[in-house]
Structure formats: C-alpha cells, structure tokens
Homo-oligomer: A and B are copies of this chain.
Amino acid sequence: MRRTKAEAEETRNSILHAAERVFYEKGVSNATLDDVAKAAGVTRGAIYWHFSNKTDLFLELYNSVSLPLEDMIARDIEQPASGVLAFIEKLTVDWLDELASDEHRQRIFTILLRCGYGEDLMPVLERQQEVDDRHIASLESAFARAGNEGYLSANWTPQSATKALWWMVGGLCTEWLLFGRRFDLAAEGREGLKRLFASFRPATIDVAARAPADVHSIA
C-alpha cells in the first residue's frame, strides 16, 4: 500500500485535523491515539509513522497553527498618533471577529487553555509567552506614542492601558471559550471595547454629559 508522496502528506494532514477535533472533544491527555486514528480513518501505525508519539503529535499540531497565530503582530502599528487608539480598537475588534468565525482557532485556543502543560510540552508554553510578550510590547509602544502627543487620558498610562486591554480581552475570550460560548463574542467585545477606549481618550466635554455623545470609535 505504498502511497505517493502527495497522498502521504494528505494522510498526515488528515491526522492533524483529526487530532485537533479529538483533542478538543476529549482533552489532550484523555484522548487516545486510537481515537485520533479512527477519526482520521487510519490505524495507529500511520500515526506512529508520521509522528513519534502523542506529545510530538501535539507539538506538530501547535506548530501547524503557530505561524498564522504570530502574524498578528507582523502588521506594525504605524499610524499617525491621532489615529492610534482607533486603530488598536479596530485591530482588536477584527481579532475578535476572526476568532468568533473561525472554529479552527477556537478549538486550538481551547485545547491550549486546558491542556495542562505537564513538563513535556513546556516549549509550547514558552513560545506562547514569548509571542504574548512581544504583542504586549507592541501595544505598549503604540499607547506610548498616543500618550506622548496627548491622545491618552491622564487616567491611564501606556502600561496600564495595555494591561487593561489585554486582561479584558483575555478574560472575555477565556470565558467564551471555556464556558460554552454562551454569548455573542463579537458583539459583546465590540461594545466593551467601545466603552474602554472611550475611557482611554482624554475627555473633552464629559462634565454633565448625561446622554453619551456616542463618539464614533473606529472610523
């Protein structure tokens, strides 16, 4: 049954896709390689041919999506300082929209959230932290540029604004993913971000403004 190289690559991908579904449904450590094999329509022999063991399969699964994950940072935030806040807000809203519509990412994130990180898959954890740190640094510098030119409320510093945004989005996504997606991620996120970014901007006429002026937040 020797297959052609293209076919072999095909089965390898089908194994990865099956692993994603099975790991998501049963949890990484609770899923057996036979589950993955059956879900992929092959036997465990095929898995052991393409991967050396389960943790290796998990690592390869992570690698197969880590690049599109990191490219978010690629698009540098090179905007005129006056538009930086709106740009970050739009970027975040877009990110939420993507997550809400891409079941692939949802499964990957969910798996990563509750996989446990027991000794062997520490490299995943470290790469994740590294990506996060760079992302946070990028956000901080953007907020700093806005702040230097007076576009950031005196209430906030670049660091605190970055953390507030990071934690709020993180908490939002975590609750949505871990607790059964019980609400509209994109809509709730958009609403919350609108309020948060309104508080980031220096107030012009906030006193006695009972009816919110509904300043457009994006563009």
Query: Which residues of A line the B interface, CB within 8 A?
Result: 26-27, 29-30, 113-116, 118, 125, 129, 153-156, 160-161, 163-164, 166-172, 174-175, 178-179, 188, 191-192, 195-196, 198-199, 202-207, 209-212
**CB atoms of A115 and B118 under 8 A apart:** no
**CB-CB < 8 A to A27: which residues of B?**
29, 116, 118
**CB atoms of A155 and B30 under 8 A apart:** no
Return A138 CB to nearest CB of chain B, in Å: 17
**CB atoms of B30 and A116 under 8 A apart:** yes
Complex CA–CA separation, A114 to B30 (angstroms): 12
Minimum-distance CB pairs A-B, first 4: A171-B171, A199-B199, A167-B171, A170-B171
**CB atoms of A188 and B163 under 8 A apart:** yes
A-B contact pairs, 7 of them (CB 8 A): A129-B179, A153-B199, A154-B210, A160-B195, A167-B168, A168-B171, A169-B171
Complex CA–CA separation, A169 to B84 (angstroms): 26
Contact residue among B168, B204, B205 (Cβ-Cβ distance under 8 Å from A168):
B168
**CB atoms of A160 and B191 under 8 A apart:** yes
**CB-CB < 8 A to A172: which residues of B?**
167, 171
**CB atoms of A196 and B154 under 8 A apart:** no
Complex CA–CA separation, A48 to B76 (angstroms): 58
**CB atoms of A174 and B170 under 8 A apart:** yes
- From known contacts A29-B29, A30-B29, A171-B172, infer whether A164 and B195 are also in contact, taking CB-CB under 8 Å: yes
Q: Given A154-B211, A206-B206, list of 8 further CB < 8 A pairs?
A: A27-B118, A114-B115, A164-B195, A167-B170, A167-B171, A202-B206, A203-B206, A204-B207
**CB atoms of B195 and A203 under 8 A apart:** no
Return A86 CB to nearest CB of chain B, in Å: 16
